[in-house]
Structure 1
């Protein structure tokens, strides 16, 4: 069952509070690294049962590791490869209940069993992805997806 590390236990209310905190945290900040670093730290602090939260940024026709929380990760991911590259190619969130069943999954951390990846698009251009991994199979549900996508929308607005 979903539980936050420091909130009320009502999943939707907790996510709404998270979004308010994100907006306050990013308000007035223009440095992209600072924005992404604080966003990954905030989300990592908020979510239970995750082992990696971070960003890959689109550079020179590949995804390059950006700010994150967790163990060392793959530094480069090709367009269309793995869950991250697929999310970017399709410009669509990938919510994967069992990464071991995902064709072409890239295993950066053997402990990861489920994953959600949300593409980041700024002014119509690919920017990168938000990637969240969990050691728990089927960790992310529709509510998680809805609010994590809203989390990315807030970030996109601050990257414009």
Structure 2
């Protein structure tokens, strides 16, 4: 197993959990959105504005195909799992965890975030509809679902760490 991917809706805790998991497992951590911003020299809202969402989604696929060949933890963007090609790449190159958070928890975290173009242009109801429509793709991409509601970051990190160590060296079902 090379990479550990964290997938889930925006605001589900991928970045916070990824950073802590990095210390727990002593592996490098990368936030996919941060890496794309660095590579492109533009913020995500600027990329959306200049090139549109479709191009941004292509950039995400290019990232998955070309990012470092090393054991690491990657917090993906909230829309990465929507593309079948991305799901296939992640499952082939690593272990995928779906951070399954309740919509109400997510909404409280993201509602005022100006760096999320989709949040800026959507109502709560539209965001919840998007959340519900994406859940099946998160399930399809992940080998392991992690229920986050009512759990501390520490509990979540320890659970993921346990699963990673349990499966180390094993061939995970693709």
Provide TM-score, normalisation by structure 1.
0.28
CA radius of gyration, larger in: 2
Q: Normalised by the size of structure 2, how large is the TM-score? A: 0.27
Bigger share in strand: 1
Q: Which has the higher contact order (CA 8 A, sep 6+)?
A: 2
